[in-house]
Homo-oligomer: A and B are copies of this chain.
Amino acid sequence: MRFIDQTKLPMEEVYVTCKTYVEVADVIRNMVVRGAPAIGVSAAMGIALGVKNSKAENVAALKKDFEQICDVIGKTRPTAVNLFWAIRRMQDKFELLRVRPLAQIKQALIEESQRMHAEDIAANQAMGKHGATLMPSSGGVLTHCNAGALATCGYGTALGVIRAAVEQGKNIHVFADETRPFLQGSRLTAWELMKDGIPTTVISDNMAGSFMHQGLVDAVIVGADRIAANGDTANKIGTYMVAVLAKEHNIPFYVAAPITTLDLSLDSGAKIPIEERDSTEITHIREHQLGPDGVAVHNPAFDVTPNHLITAIITDQGVARAPFQVSLKMLCDLKSNGVSVEKM
């Protein structure tokens, strides 16, 4: 498996090759690959790679290896539900196939992960189609973090919607929050959008309010790492702040995420586990130390935006609006039916 190393972008375009599932787990943990949808598909492919490499000589032994692989992959990052969705889907597939010959199981799991890759791209394009109409025909759109091609298998969730709007001839200027501490905005979003020729201005996170106040932002669109049944949305730290600011300035705030990012098992966002990452992400940029030795730091990687701050959630199945409890369930059911029709 090959990954573009997102920790090195945009200064270096370096690829990392993983030959084992343990290496794939490291790549997810260290954010060489990041973004909820990309994490999900990487997990599935990592599992397929682990299964392919397994030296098990019978299905029972393979199942044991498979469980160990899923366990290691599942302990990489806690917030994005796509990781657990992907593991669950691979587990279901294994369960369905457990009476088949070993080689057939291996092949089917590899194909399942490849199918998930293709489905993710299709989901992004569908989100683009559903969301583009919500974008202003001309104006500024602010985004936080990177919910682009790099965060998915291609096209992007929030940036997919922006891309689709631009393809429809809309005249959009993107404001990209730089997104401390990992700088996904200045490093990744700016890089992606500049490649596509979409006008983009990088601002530090603390400028968002000021630009909204000046009337330069007509809409906000972000991705998501996990969406609870009531629409509460976990996304990159700072998303909550942007949502509060959007409300204060009467600017629509959109979330774009595939159905696979929904976690209807949680009734509210309060139950979403929030990853705390290493303090060096705040105290250092690469080798360069910023703050004093021994300074105390908090580094939660995500926050939860309550549903009442969200204008609409754009999914591959359509656009959900409040009450999200109802609308998200409906889109989810549509998807389940769709999936069963395609897959059975």
Instruction: Please give me the residue from chain B that is nearest to A302 by CB atom.
Output: B210
> Among A47-55, A62-70, A185-193, which stretch is in contact with chain B?
A185-193
Q: What is the CA–CA distance of A194 and B244 in the complex, to the nearest angstrom? A: 32
Are B248 and A210 touching (Cβ within 8 A)? Answer: no
Q: How far is the CB of A9 from chain B (nearest CB, A)?
A: 8
Are A296 and B199 touching (Cβ within 8 A)? Answer: yes
Question: Is A139's beta carbon under 8 Å from chain B?
Answer: no
Contact of A237 among B144, B204, B300 (CB under 8 A): B204
Q: Please judge, given known A-B contacts A283-B186, A295-B194, whether A205 and B205 are in contact too, CB under 8 Å.
A: yes
Q: What is the CA–CA distance of A159 and B194 in the complex, to the nearest angstrom? A: 41
Contact of A297 among B202, B248, B298 (CB under 8 A): B202
Question: Is A338's beta carbon under 8 Å from chain B?
Answer: no
Within 8 A of B (CB), among A267-313: 282-283, 285-286, 288-292, 294-300, 303
Are B282 and A204 touching (Cβ within 8 A)? Answer: yes
Question: Is A218's beta carbon under 8 Å from chain B?
Answer: no
Question: Is A200's beta carbon under 8 Å from chain B?
Answer: yes
> Among A116-124, A175-183, A250-258, which stretch is in contact with chain B?
A175-183
Chain B residues in 8 Å Cβ range of A200 = 295-296
Contact of A282 among B178, B179, B194, B295 (CB under 8 A): B178
Chain B residues in 8 Å Cβ range of A299 = 204
Q: How far is the CB of A284 from chain B (nearest CB, A)?
A: 10
* Residues of chain A at the chain B interface (Cβ within 8 Å): 10-11, 144, 177-181, 183, 186-187, 190-191, 194, 199-211, 213, 237-238, 240-242, 244-245, 248, 282-283, 285-286, 288-292, 294-300, 303
